[in-house]
Amino acid sequence: MFLGALVDAGVPPALLEETVSALNVGARLEISRLDRAGISATKVDVYSCGEKDLPREQYWEHHARRDHASANKHEPVQLLEHNYAIQEAAPDEHAHRRGLREIREIIAKASISEFARSTALRIFEALGEAEARIHSCPLEQVHFHEVGAVDAMVDIVSASAGVESLQLDEIVCSPLNVGGGTIKCAHGTFPVPAPATLELLKGVPVYSSGIQAELVTPTGAAIVKTLAKRFAPFPEIKIDNIGYGAGTREFSDHANVLRLTIGEIQSSWHVTTETVSILEANIDDLNPQIFAYVLDRLFEEGALDAFAIPVQMKKNRPGMLLTVLCKPEDTNKVSGVIFRETTTLGVRQREEKRQVLARKFVNVTTRWGTVRIKLGSMNGTVTNYAPEYEDCRRIAAEHHVPLKIVMQEAIEKYLLLDGTRLSS
């Protein structure tokens, strides 16, 4: 449904098709238009291993019958729950399942952008961690059924690539209608939302409108929890585009669609206030060479910012004050990196409010390639602009051009694009 909403909102179908092809897992997309309770929406179906993606109840019933038939032929039976399997068979019986390590390798080899790759891996790891907690098993023992793993990879990687193409500053999500009733899985019948969905939605506002069906799946929960910057009522925006993504099921009194609204913030000062967690640790016995790696790992786990300041510590020993900003819901992941990768024995934590300018990206074309320019605006006026460092760095390395020259030309192109004449 999210992929359908992305296409309906303007993401080129070819981008998603190319992303699926880059995964090289034998999957393809089928994109169509249909009606859901009077709403015209885009439907994206995933075909993997020759089979069409099904609603989870139908998926489980279909594979339960297939695995039962296999068992009668003395072949290993797979333990399925929510399209996932917990490793209980011998290693040679896992040819038709994929663990997180195999999925990481597939995504790492795919010819997709670094943003799409890193975002997809964060979503998959969130999904795997939730399943591991539910089943009290190590993360690496969570395995995905062959079809379920392909479906999840297509959904997650395509969602990451599609979101990147829209160049959004942030995604704001409404409270989630999780549905109600029960859902069947390999271990029996469970209440909706499913255990993994509920685990993923910790800290997220949810409700049930009384519809007796599963409206948020574990994969959907992992995607929205990772991509959404905050959960709040509909923000004050000027609407530019709207997309509707259709679900497979139809309800008599409910349009089974996901709506994506794209627009520009219209608050009077274009400034938003948000809560961030501040984590700090004083470190005086860590090899300085390790600090760069620690900072990289912190950003991989969701840090919004991280830096280290030289300080003089007890017994007059020189040390570093490590400070990390992150979303409150990412506190445990980020503090875990600090404990694992540094020598500190304690991490201080507090929450603070910060104001953030409205931000967006525009593309400029230099003689060597496209560079994104990040814009910050207040009261409708651009107050800050800067070329995206990673774009300039990549171009400089590929074309053997000094980085400062690439950045300078990108700024000049933006000023011309903005109608500003350069002074001599």
DSSP-derived secondary structure for 59-125: HHHHHHHHHHHHHHTTPPPP--BTTEEE--S-GGG-TTEEEHHHHHHHHHHS---HHHHHHHHHHHH
Average pLDDT over residues 91-104: 63
Q: Range with the lowest mean pLDDT among 2-6, 27-31, 373-377, 393-397? A: 373-377
Q: Does 422 score more than 50 pLDDT?
A: no
Q: Which domains does the chain have, with CATH numbers?
A: 1-266 (no CATH), 272-346 (3.30.70.1380), 358-417 (3.10.20.300)
Are 78 and 67 in contact by the 8 Å Cβ rule? The answer is yes
Are 276 and 325 in contact by the 8 Å Cβ rule? The answer is yes
**Highest mean pLDDT: which range of 6-10, 122-126, 215-219, 326-330:** 6-10
User: Pairing mode, if any, of strands 51-52 and 257-265?
Assistant: unpaired
Q: Does 269 score more than 60 pLDDT?
A: no
pLDDT band at 258 (very low <50, low <70, confident <90, very high): very high
Q: What percent of the chain has pLDDT over 90?
A: 50
Query: Per residue in 190-203, pLDDT tens?
Result: 899 988 899 999 98
Q: Does 373 score more than 90 pLDDT?
A: yes
CA angle 349, 351, 355 (to 5 degrees): 140
Record the tokens describing residue 269, joined without a space.
């000062």
Rounded CA-CA distance 376/384 in Å is 5
* 165-198: burial string, b at 16+ Cβ within 10 Å, e else: bbeebbbbeeebebbbeebebbeeebebbbbbbb
pLDDT score at 188: 74
Average pLDDT over residues 236-256: 90
Which tops the pLDDT comparison, 141 or 218?
A: 218
Picking from 3, 293, 380, the residue whose alpha carbon sits closest to that of residue 166 is 3
pLDDT score at 131: 84
Q: Does 76 score more than 80 pLDDT?
A: no
Q: What percent of the chain has pLDDT over 70?
A: 83
Average pLDDT over residues 403-411: 94
Q: Does 61 score more than 80 pLDDT?
A: no
| Burial of 423 per CB tally in 10 Å (0-12, 13-18, 19+) | exposed
| Burial of 258 per CB tally in 10 Å (0-12, 13-18, 19+) | buried
Q: Does 71 score more than 60 pLDDT?
A: no
Residue 216's SS3 state is coil
Q: Does 242 score more than 60 pLDDT?
A: yes
Record the tokens describing residue 372, joined without a space.
């994104």
Phi-psi region of 183 (alpha: psi -120 to 50; beta: other; left: phi over 0): beta
Radius of gyration of the chain (CA): 24
**CB within 8 A of 107, min separation 6: which ones?**
23, 117, 120, 121, 124, 153, 157
Taking the model in full, what pTM does it have? 0.61
Q: Range with the lowest mean pLDDT among 106-115, 118-127, 260-269? A: 260-269
Give the DSSP letter of residue 424.
-
